[in-house]
Structure 1
Amino acid sequence: MQQQRREIRAMKLCVIAGDGIGREVVPQALRVLQALLPALQVVEAEAGWDTFCQQGTALPAATLAAARDCGAVIFGAVSSPAHKVAGYRSPIVQLRRELGCHANLRPTLSLPGCGADGIDLLIVRENTEDLYIGEEQSDGDTATAIKRITRAASQRVAQSAYQLALAEGRQRLTIVHKANILPLTDGLFRDVARQVAAAYPQLQVDELLVDTAALKLAQAPQAFDVLLAPNLYGDILSDLAAAFGGGLGVAASLNLGEHAAIAEPVHGSAPDIAGQGIANPVASLLSLAMLLRHWWQQPALAARLEQAVRATLAAGTRTPDLGGSASTAAYCDAVIGRL
């Protein structure tokens, strides 16, 4: 049944450019995807801070409906207020939860001329709970945030992580937690992940405290294969890992669920360079490649796109953040030429 649903939706993509450079990298990356999928049906929708300022909501009901209908989404970037604004909620966090995208996949790969060599790391992060549920309260002197970990969500993301590891031919998975300080919440996540591991004897499974994992990741990212973490730790560690893969400009991610998937370049809206046409589209392109591979079940097309991105970087065509002079459009033109 799930495969049938994916086939029905195979040529539909909800495009949410968002704010800032999201409006530059997403349309250019979409041109590349359309070179691979000429029959792609595109549905454009709005979300983000500008949308909130205009409509009073950062994720309009029409956008959520379009995302649900398409199943596949590309989400560019959003700006966020630096302080609490009444009525504002992060649209990408809300979208992940509404669509049930329970697993966030963050690969870090060695790309030509970018970052360190020999890295092929995947971080799988639980995507719907932990401190990200947004339940906070304050009396002005004391502020409290609720950290929620459930058995069901922990089991679901653990199963996804083990299945992805096997599908990609990986050998080792490390569970990340802080159960020595948080024995009930992080302890539950670790224990459930350990229980699920019993069904995957092909994988070597170990565990690390999150602070130790951060140290080892900073020292030798090449030593890791797959990391499985709760929401907050996975978010932080995946950005740390991105430093070794060339930075956030090339950091791709996919939010994967049973009924939807959201391709999401990790970088922010970058207001300092927005409108200049020089933003790096690599993260958007590689996120779309993940959508091709994991949602649309098109590994050959995903590999073609990834190879074209790598070949373009290797040829020296790069945006300014990677030491080049190419514009966003020029880089995507070069990728299309290689496709």
Structure 2
Amino acid sequence: MPIRPCYSLPGYKTKYDDVDLITIRENTEGEYSGLEHQVVRGVVESLKIITRQASLRVAEYAFHYAKAHGRERVSAIHKANIMQKTDGLFLKCCREVAEKYPEIVYEEVVIDNCCMMLVKNPSLFDVLVMPNLYGDIISDLCAGLIGGLGLTPSCNIGEEVLLLLRLYMVLLLILLESMLRHLDLHDKADRIQDAVLNTIAEGKYRTGDLGGKATTTDFTKAICDHL
């Protein structure tokens, strides 16, 4: 399942300076199940698949992540007011898992309202968990809050494999940090994170994707100097 942390970078000015949230997306089913066909000429149909097994799996991971990383709130994003069966099952599974984590605040937010809340006050959110299509869209929206996709690592975590995606200069280092945290090497991850944030905040060595003119060699040297 794709995990995308989005947090404001000190010294890199955007519209918001208090973003610190995690999007967790189920990505094996939903509208992206690939089940489409033509009913008759001029009419096509796409099937949305939601299963209890996949919903419980992503909900369990979201709450486990929140607890392990000191997060206080999990928000289930849905459209169950319209898709009562599919998103209704997803929410039912989220509620079932939430009962096992009484220390975590659980809420359900309709995706329409979620989008509005994110652009008005993203600090209202902590961990967001959602079905496939919603996660694809919301995670990109969240990336825009902090400066773009070039600043948001994306990890696709399965039971046996951790896949790290998006190779920009900053992301390469943030992804390394994410991998180290996944391996419980938090001290080393903290050193890398601090070096990246301090280099960006310093403002002297920013690459083109951050609005600067520094080369990747300059940026790398600055990172090493801050380690």
TM-score (normalizing by structure 2): 0.92
Alpha-carbon deviation of 1:334? 2.2
Name the counterpart of 1:293.
181
Contact 1:250–1:281 (8 Å) recurs in 2: no
Quote the offset at 1:209 in angstroms: 0.6
Q: 2:96 aligns with which of 195, 207, 223?
A: 195
CA separation in 1, counterparts of 2:5 and 2:150?
13
Instruction: Answer yes or no: is 1:207 the counterpart of 2:108.
Output: yes
Aligned to 1:142: 43
Give the whole-Å Cα distance in 2 for the aligned partners of 1:172 and 1:106.
16
Q: How many pairs were matched up?
A: 223
Identity %: 43
Structure 1 equivalent of residue 219 of structure 2: 331
1:299 and 1:140 map into 2 onto residues whose CA distance is: 57
Check whether the contact 1:172–1:203 (CA below 8 A) recurs between aligned residues.
Answer: yes
Tell me by how many angstroms 1:125 deviates: 1.0
Q: CA RMSD in A?
A: 1.6
- Give unmatched runs, 5+ long, in structure 1: 1-102, 268-279
Residues 87-106 of structure 1 correspond to what in structure 2 (within 5 A)?
A: 103-106=1-4
Deviation, structure 1 residue 140: 5.7
Cα contact 1:104–1:254 (8 A) shared by 2: yes
CA distance in 2, matches of 1:287, 1:140: 47
Matched residue type, 1:239 = D
Name the amino acid aligned to 2:25. Answer: R
* d(CA) in 1 for partners of 2:13, 2:170: 11
Question: What letter matches 1:290 in structure 2?
Answer: S
Segment of structure 1 superposing worse, 177-186 or 124-133: 124-133
**1:180-329 superposed matches below 5 A:** 180-265=81-166, 280-294=168-182, 296-316=183-203, 317-329=205-217
Counterparts of 1:175 and 1:336, CA distance in 2: 39
Closer, same or farther in 2 for the Cα pair 1:144/1:283, shift >3 Å?
farther
Q: 2:146 aligns to what SS in structure 1?
A: coil
Q: Residue in 2 aligned with 1:154? A: 55
Deviation at 1:114? 4.0
Normalising by structure 1, report the TM-score.
Answer: 0.63
Rate the CA distance shift 1:325–1:200 in 2: closer, same or farther, 3 A.
same
Q: Which runs of 5+ in 2 are unaligned?
A: none
Q: Secondary structure at the match of 2:4?
A: strand
SS at match of 2:156: strand
Q: Does residue 125 of the first structure (1) align with residue 18 of the second (2)?
A: no
C-alpha separation in 1, matches of 2:132 and 2:197: 30
3-state secondary structure, aligned to 1:243: helix
Distance, in Å, in 1 between the alignment partners of 2:179 and 2:201 is 23
Q: Check conservation: 1:262, 1:291, Cα contact below 8 A.
A: no
Runs of 4+, deviation exceeding 6 Å: none
